[in-house]
A = this chain, B = another copy of it.
Amino acid sequence: MELENILESLYFSASRPISTSEVLKILDDPAYNLDAIKNAISNLQKKYQDSSFELVKVASGHRFRIKQKYSPWISKLWSEKPQKYSRALLETLSLIAYKQPITRGEIEEVRGVSVSSQIIRTLLDRSWVKVVGHRDVPGRPALLATTKEFLDDLNISKLSQLPELPEIGSIPAEAQMNLLEETQDNA
């Protein structure tokens, strides 16, 4: 009971996901082991079943999130509209997510166009992407990979939960046309 309240207070105060190992370190008490924490987490998940929020597991730990059905009211609280990303950015992000680690040059090769610094900056800034090393070729280009925050923001806990990359030849022609349609709507 008390352990659940302590956990709850941690999740609500952190404004980021917290891992069980971090919880163990904070508690620093032999009375609370990993099993006790896991048990408390599952109790908390049950406890708040009918409320507006839920305890979810993401890449870097657990956190409370507000159920999606309440988004219409919450979005009214914010005067700014959430960022809508361009197709160029999304394609770049997809390449980083599915072919990581990857250099900017390699992204450009697949997309057939240059990738603007602006896009890379936005992704780094958003902490969705980070530099994990440099390729050992002339110019030592940075190798880009996605971060835990990226998975957290999509509410998933590992890369393998991303949508599957379509197989070559399995993409119906209509899907292509729909893509174009989208772009025109957004233009």
Interfacial residues, chain A to chain B (CB-CB below 8 A): 5-6, 8-10, 12-15, 18, 22, 25-28, 51-53, 64, 66-67, 70, 73-74, 76-80, 83, 86-88, 104-105, 112-114, 116-118, 121-122, 124-127, 130-132, 139-142, 147, 179-181, 183-184, 187
Contacts and interface: CB of A to CB of B under 8 A. Distances in A.
B74 A8 contact: no
A130 B184 CA distance: 6
A119 B40 CA distance: 31
Given A8-B53, A118-B112, A13 B183 contact: no
Contact of A74 (B10, B66, B113): B10
20 contacts: A8-B51, A8-B53, A9-B53, A9-B67, A10-B77, A12-B52, A12-B64, A13-B70, A15-B121, A26-B80, A27-B73, A80-B141, A87-B125, A112-B121, A114-B122, A114-B126, A116-B126, A124-B183, A131-B184, A147-B187
Given A79-B141, A113-B121, 5 more contacts: A6-B73, A15-B118, A88-B125, A130-B184, A142-B180
